């Protein structure tokens, strides 16, 4: 469904991602793992059209989306939940979801009631400003904003950062439901156990390159892999 081949991302002369290739099958899930600065965010933001690709190709279904702008990529069915969430803090929950509906254009949006049934906490807070939500509720809202565009592939960039265990459990079980409903996931994580709750396969990045690919369980169980890439 998603095929990334030989991706290279640069900030001026700084190369953040080089020769990265991976595929996600329909109804599949993949985790991109690695420590700070490995190039995970650069990689997924380039896929979503938020950063230019210096080299490589990205195809989604039968479409070549290598040069497509972010707003078009969303309408083709890829939605990103960014690492810093990037909510408009003076929009209410309801206004945030309405704004996402507008971004869909010709694509039919997921209705707010459907979103609220997935995240009842947001229903209770629908008239609250995003800036007044807890970190966990903000993460739920960032995910909901992405889901509103009815993605076939949802990209989650470090969804666990800064969340308590309790909230994280709620978010993960909602994402498991989303996965069961047929949405593919690309999960960027530093935490292997959280990645393993959402995907079984992973790509490990280190200093901009893909250094290992295989089952997440194997990475968790191997001292060698953990020592090499996660310390």
Q: Measured between alpha carbons, how far is 85 from 23 in angstroms, rounded to an integer?
A: 25
The site partner of 34 among Mg ion, ligand ATP, none (C-beta below 5 to 8 Å per kind) is ligand ATP
Q: Pick the stretch among 36-44, 54-62, 95-103, 211-219 that binds Mg ion (CB under 5 A).
A: 36-44
Q: Is the dihedral of CA 172, 9, 4, 151 positive or negative?
A: positive
| Total residue length of the chain | 231
| Distance in Å, CB of 21 to ligand ATP, minimum | 17
| Distance in Å, CB of 41 to Mg ion, minimum | 3
The site partner of 36 among Mg ion, ligand ATP, none (C-beta below 5 to 8 Å per kind) is ligand ATP
Task: Please say which residue, 59 or 83, places its beta carbon nearer to Mg ion.
Answer: 83
3-state secondary structure of 154: strand
Residues 72 to 111: which contact ligand ATP by CB under 6 A? 83
Q: Pick the stretch among 21-29, 35-43, 53-61, 89-97 that binds ligand ATP (CB under 6 A).
A: 35-43
| Partners of 2 in the β-ladder | 24, 60
Check binding of 49 to ligand ATP (CB under 6 A): no
Task: Please say which residue, 36 or 108, places its beta carbon nearer to ligand ATP.
Answer: 36
Task: Please say which residue, 11 or 88, places its beta carbon nearer to ligand ATP.
Answer: 11
DSSP-assigned states of every residue in 80-108: EE-TT----TTSBHHHHHHHHHHHHTTSP
Q: Measured between alpha carbons, how far is 38 from 73 in angstroms, rounded to an integer?
A: 24
Residue nearest to Mg ion (CB): 41
Sheet holding 153-157, edge to edge: 78-81, 153-157, 184-189, 29-33, 201-206, 209-215
3-state secondary structure of 71: helix
Task: Please say which residue, 41 or 144, places its beta carbon nearer to Mg ion.
Answer: 41
Question: How many Cα atoms occupy the beta-carbon half-sphere of 224 within 13 Å?
Answer: 2
Nearest partner of 32 among 173, 227, 199, judged by Cα: 199
Q: Where are the beta strands (DSSP E) in 71-183?
A: 78-81, 153-157
Contact with ligand ATP (CB under 6 A) among 13, 14, 62, 182 = 14
Check binding of 41 to Mg ion (CB under 5 A): yes
Contact with ligand ATP (CB under 6 A) among 20, 29, 41, 49 = 41
For the chain, the C-alpha Rg in angstroms (whole number) is: 17
Task: Please say which residue, 35 or 83, places its beta carbon nearer to Mg ion.
Answer: 83
Task: Please say which residue, 42 or 138, places its beta carbon nearer to ligand ATP.
Answer: 42
Interface residues with Mg ion (CB under 5 A)? 41, 83
Interface residues with ligand ATP (CB under 6 A)? 11, 14, 16, 34, 36-42, 83, 190
């Amino acid at each position: 469904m998603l095929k990334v081949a030989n991706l290279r991302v640069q900030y001026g002369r700084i190369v953040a991602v080089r020769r990265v290739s991976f595929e996600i099958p329909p109804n599949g899930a993949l985790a991109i793992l690695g420590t700070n600065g490995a190039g995970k965010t650069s990689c997924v933001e380039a896929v979503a059209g938020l950063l230019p690709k210096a080299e490589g190709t990205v195809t989604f279904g039968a479409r070549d989306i290598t040069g497509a702008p972010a707003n078009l990529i969303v309408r083709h069915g890829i939605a990103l939940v960014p690492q810093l969430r990037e909510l408009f803090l003076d929009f209410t929950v309801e206004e945030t979801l309405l704004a996402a509906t507008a971004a869909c254009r010709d694509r039919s949006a997921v209705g707010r009631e459907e979103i609220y049934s997935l995240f009842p906490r947001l229903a209770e807070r629908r008239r609250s400003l995003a800036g007044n939500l807890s970190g966990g509720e903000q993460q739920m809202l960032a995910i909901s904003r992405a889901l509103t565009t009815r993605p076939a592939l949802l990209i989650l960039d470090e969804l666990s950062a800064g969340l308590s265990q309790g909230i994280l459990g709620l978010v993960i079980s909602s994402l498991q439901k989303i996965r069961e409903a047929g949405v593919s996931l690309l999960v960027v994580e530093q935490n292997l156990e959280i990645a393993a709750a959402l995907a079984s396969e992973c790509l490990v990045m280190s200093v901009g390159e893909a250094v290992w690919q295989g089952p997440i369980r194997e990475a968790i169980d191997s001292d060698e892999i953990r020592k090499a890439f996660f310390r």
